[in-house]
Structure 1
Amino acid sequence: WERKKLGDVAEKVIQKNNNNAFKNVLTNSAEYGIISQRDFFERNIANKNNISTYYIVQNDDFVYNPRISNLAPYGPINRNKTGYTGIISPLYYVFRVLNINTAFIEWYFKTTCWHKFMYQHGDSGARSDRFSIKDNELKKLPIKLPADDMEQEKIAKTLTSLDNTLQLHERKCEELALIKKALLQKLFPKKDEFKPEVRYKNFSDAWEQRKLGEVTEYIKGFAFKSKDYKKSGHRIIRVSDLGKDSIINNNDSIFVTDEISKQQNKYKINKNEIIITTVGSKAELKESAVGRPIIVRNSLGYLLNQNLVKIHGKNNKDSRFIYYQLLQPRYSQYIATIQRGNANQANIAISDLWNYRIFITKHNEQQKIGNFFQQLDFLITLHQRKLEKLKQLKKFLLQNMFI
């Protein structure tokens, strides 16, 4: 590969927007790339009387934004792929690449290869949110690239193809989540109604409303003693071990011995049991929120800690059917009315939780609905895992296909 400087392969764009010839103001976001300022901020930020000093940015031009963030510790460098010419604040550095593969350079700036140079030749300046580097220094930024144009093109095409596949999977996950949200409304009755909008064939009877405490049995978690904690053994599940919809692996997981596990056997978490947080933050059932439910997909012999309660359907009531009703907005709205305490440490009383009213139908219909949503969740999880693997692959290639 050849070692070049940015000034060897690109020229700074200094063309100003004289006579206000262009009015579409762009911004360079670390997360979204170069987009219309109006789309990003949902309003116009630039003063239309001052845009004559803005730089003209043509399609495929690059823009360096010195604003730093967690996503861009030295500021993002992105390519204008909007398909049109726009203008951008003179606070940004605009440049146009020459005689090299534009897509290759775009991917190069998505790596961290250039970060060391920025660290050595710039500083954060007077403002902690803005990186400072002189134009003459930025032109010295070293770029290593294949001498063969074909290799540049192949690397760029590989990463672009992978990125397109990744975006398709992201959209698929979003679409499946929207489908699930819609079906949660259609396969269960709406408020003050007793039949769902969509039903399985051969079911037509009206549903009943029952209190959650009437159709479930529960066990509150146990306050395990810290002196009994071990680095291995039988895992104790705490509020912090609950992810968005499942138990997650934590680096700080705690365990107890076989002996203690046998003594506290009734606190073992079983397949298809529902876990609900009784302590947490006042929030819309986010991961740390009080009242948030998850369902246990596999029986792993975990033990339930305090501030949690596990429930399951009784008298032939399907726990999965009950769980999916707890994912509806009206459940989170009910939790908001019964939670007590401050924003960071809210709690709910079990007696109040049991007064929440859910719908009950015949056991066969419960099973069909519970099984359907379970299979839908499996499909969502499958696509999420594929998406995560694609993200890991992209990260690996960005780390290993450039110098």
Structure 2
Amino acid sequence: AWEKRKLLEISKTYSGLTYHPEDIRESGTFVIRSSNVQNGSIVTADDVYVSPDIVNSSNVLKGDVIVVVRNGSRNLIGKHALMIRDMPNTVIGAFMTGIRSAHGPFINALLSTKDFQSEVRKSLGATINQITIRDFKLMSFAVPNSQEVNSIGAIFGMLDNLIAATQHKIDALEQVKETLSKNLFDQLWRFKEYSTSWKENKLKDIVSAYSGGTPSANIRTYYGGHIPFIRSAEIHSSTTALTLTQEGLKNSSAKLVKTGDILYALYGANSGDVDRSKINGAINQAILAMRPSKENDSNFILFQLMRMKNKIVSTYLQGGQGNLSGRIILALNLDMPESTSEQRTIGRSLQLLCELISINQSKYSQLESLKKSLLQNLFV
């Protein structure tokens, strides 16, 4: 049977390092801060190093659980990660607490449960976003015998390693895609069978394009049908929040698109995003739909537009304000191989990378779902 035990009966805590701006160096002792704890892992993110001479706190060890205990955002209090490898010359920052135990993976899993979240909420004051060592001392949880603790910890330890490895693979594939895209589109790299020159084309000359519209929201019979209504924030999705009836489609400027059409977001927070439509549906006025001519490769055009996003946004959406227009996008100049075969080779290479990334993202989601299910069912 599981029995209620104080958290600090099966672990101990240590505090982080307080340092000053003048202590920061380009290299030295690495300080783990809140930004370095993401999705249950320790990552590189705006890393800070300090002079080893000022360090007076414990070095982290493999198996430690690092917890965010103070932050401007209440939602980040209690965020944590297990140290899955040794990191010499590494400490935690002042707004962090380290938990050290012979059962690190179990403790890390325990801190992922709703019980821990409940304890954190009880500890937070009305205005102060922090939990203290005293708060940790008051926390108690149902804990099994040592053998079961080790078994549960081993399961979650393996899961966390798999999740971290999958995320690392996704990051690596994203980097490969970015590097390949840059060098292929800048023509620094060419596939050896191609040597003909590239030429500049206006987008409007190589695609047919149109935008849609929105049926009146005041007429209920226009909505709730079987036609997915794709809005700009949904161009990456295979589902939509709204659907249209045939009547709504007929009595508005909404236009139909097919699976595989290129969709470009003109308005909204994701202006400049581009993707293939995942579904047959209808689009509103915030989306530009494009279908390339038979002489041009759809994948090549898609990835070229993806790569151009930052330049387009910085040129036409100063300070994140304003909207793009179909006229602006269709007037863009794209450097393209004269050979359709080379376009297809480049487009297919990048598409294969995207498919690999998608497969691993699906694997990551499945592992996270499995972990969530085990947390709900093993910790009772």
Name the TM-score class by shorter chain: 0.7 to 0.9
| 2:70 aligned with 1:67 | yes
CA shift for structure 1 position 239? 1.1
| Counterparts of 2:314 and 2:195, CA distance in 1 | 33
| Counterparts of 2:226 and 2:29, CA distance in 1 | 62
Name the residue aligned to 2:372: 395
- In structure 2, relative to structure 1, the CA distance for the partners of 1:269 and 1:58 (3 Å cut) is closer
CA shift for structure 1 position 384? 0.9
- Give deviations 1:274-320, integer Å, cap 9, x for gaps: 11122235xxxxxx12x322122x5x330111121111112522222
| Counterparts of 1:91 and 1:369, CA distance in 2 | 47
| Counterparts of 1:187 and 1:34, CA distance in 2 | 33
Q: 2:116 aligns with which of 109, 114, 117?
A: 114
Q: What TM-score results when the alignment is normalised by the length of structure 2? A: 0.78
* RMSD between superposed Cα atoms in Å: 3.8
| 2:270 aligned with 1:277 | no
- Give deviations 1:311-343, integer Å, cap 9, x for gaps: 1112522222211111224x5314432x25x64
| Counterparts of 1:82 and 1:212, CA distance in 2 | 52
Residues 321 and 370, structure 1, Cα contact 8 Å, conserved in 2: yes
CA shift for structure 1 position 114? 2.9
Instruction: Specify the SS of the correspondent of 1:271.
Output: coil
| 2:211 aligned with 1:230 | no
Name the residue aligned to 1:130: 130
Q: 2:185 aligns with which of 185, 188, 194?
A: 188
Residues 28 and 76, structure 1, Cα contact 8 Å, conserved in 2: no
| Counterparts of 1:89 and 1:213, CA distance in 2 | 54
Instruction: Specify the SS of the correspondent of 1:113.
Output: helix
Name the residue aligned to 2:152: 155
Name the residue aligned to 2:212: 221
Name the residue aligned to 2:23: none
Residues 218 and 309, structure 1, Cα contact 8 Å, conserved in 2: yes
Q: Where is the helix percentage greater, Structure 1 or Structure 2?
A: 2
- In structure 2, relative to structure 1, the CA distance for the partners of 1:142 and 1:199 (3 Å cut) is same
Residues 59 and 89, structure 2, Cα contact 8 Å, conserved in 1: yes
| Counterparts of 2:341 and 2:30, CA distance in 1 | 59
CA shift for structure 1 position 401? 1.8
| Counterparts of 1:34 and 1:175, CA distance in 2 | 16
- In structure 2, relative to structure 1, the CA distance for the partners of 1:364 and 1:262 (3 Å cut) is farther
- Identical-residue share of aligned pairs (%): 20
Name the residue aligned to 1:293: 274
Residues 280 and 345, structure 1, Cα contact 8 Å, conserved in 2: no
| Counterparts of 2:325 and 2:4, CA distance in 1 | 66
| Counterparts of 2:53 and 2:94, CA distance in 1 | 13
Name the residue aligned to 2:21: none
Task: Give 1:40-51 correspondences, 5 Å limit.
Answer: 42-44=48-50, 48=54
CA shift for structure 1 position 130? 2.3
CA shift for structure 1 position 80? 9.7
Q: What TM-score results when the alignment is normalised by the length of structure 1? A: 0.74
- Give deviations 1:217-249, integer Å, cap 9, x for gaps: 11121232222542342111111223xxx2353
Q: Which amino acid aligns with 1:124?
A: G
| Counterparts of 1:75 and 1:96, CA distance in 2 | 16
- In structure 2, relative to structure 1, the CA distance for the partners of 1:181 and 1:119 (3 Å cut) is closer
264-273 or 365-374: bigger deviation: 264-273
Name the residue aligned to 1:311: 290
CA shift for structure 1 position 101? 3.0
Q: 2:314 aligns with which of 330, 333, 336?
A: 336
Q: Which amino acid aligns with 1:31?
A: V
| Counterparts of 1:318 and 1:43, CA distance in 2 | 47
Task: Give 1:73-92 correspondences, 5 Å limit.
Answer: 73-74=77-78, 76=80, 82=86
Name the residue aligned to 1:139: 137
Residues 79 and 106, structure 1, Cα contact 8 Å, conserved in 2: no
Name the residue aligned to 2:105: 103
| Counterparts of 1:209 and 1:220, CA distance in 2 | 24
- Give deviations 1:34-53, integer Å, cap 9, x for gaps: 989x98652549994xx6xx
- In structure 2, relative to structure 1, the CA distance for the partners of 1:263 and 1:90 (3 Å cut) is closer
CA shift for structure 1 position 397? 1.6
| Counterparts of 1:271 and 1:87, CA distance in 2 | 51
Q: 2:360 aligns with which of 383, 388, 391?
A: 383
Instruction: Specify the SS of the correspondent of 1:320.
Output: helix
- Give deviations 1:69-101, integer Å, cap 9, x for gaps: 45544575867965558776788766654xx63
CA shift for structure 1 position 385? 0.7
Larger radius of gyration: 1
Q: Which amino acid aligns with 1:333?
A: K
- In structure 2, relative to structure 1, the CA distance for the partners of 1:138 and 1:273 (3 Å cut) is closer
Instruction: Specify the SS of the correspondent of 1:321.
Output: helix
Q: Which amino acid aligns with 1:247?
A: S
| 2:333 aligned with 1:357 | yes
Name the residue aligned to 1:346: 322
Q: 1:268 aligns with which of 256, 267, 270?
A: 256
